[in-house]
Amino acid sequence: MSPSLVLCIILFALYTHIAMAAGPRWDHSIRIDDPELTVEVAAQQCHKSLINAPELLEAWCKKAYEMGYWSALVPISLHTGDGTRLVAEAKERLKNKEPGAYTTLAWLYGSGQFVKKDIAKAIALREELLVLDKSFTPN
């Protein structure tokens, strides 16, 4: 047996072992049109699709968003490269003092993702959140 064939067999066996140990990365049994679908499951499918099923990302994230999970706009924005809707939604929710809006906008301004980078604004949003929500633990 040639050394390259042995190497291929070893690599295939290793890959198969790792893939089996990791378990299924995408649950094909979950249906987007299931009337019993919960927002939690739709949100999980939305996030998992970013890596495991990008061709289904927009459908799953749209479904999760329609069910009330507005953070589904994050993977959609990362996938499409357009964060316009995410920024607008977060700013609108900031008016209602929703903690998720503070953390999302702080991340966007801190990283310069979809907005002009503004560290001072990111810090101010985090500080505002700390005053608003004493149980919030900054990361």
Residue with more model confidence, 26 or 86? 86
Identity of the amino acid at 55: E
- H or E element that contains 41: helix 39-52
Q: What is the pLDDT of residues 24-83, one digit of tens each?
A: 577 888 999 999 999 999 999 999 998 899 999 999 999 999 999 999 999 999 999 999
Q: For residue 61, with 0-12 CB atoms within 10 Å meaning exposed, 13-18 middle and 19 or more buried, which class applies? A: buried
Dihedral (CA of 34, 40, 43, 48) sign = negative
For residue 27, the model assigns a pLDDT of: 80
Confidence check: pLDDT of 8 > 60: no
Residue with more model confidence, 5 or 106? 106
The number of beta carbons lying within 10 Å of the beta carbon of residue 21 is 7
Structure tokens at 11: 């690599």
Confidence check: pLDDT of 120 > 70: yes
Mean pLDDT score of the chain: 85
Local confidence band at 138 (pLDDT 50, 70, 90 cut-offs): low
Report the predicted TM-score, pTM, of the whole model to 2 decimal places: 0.75
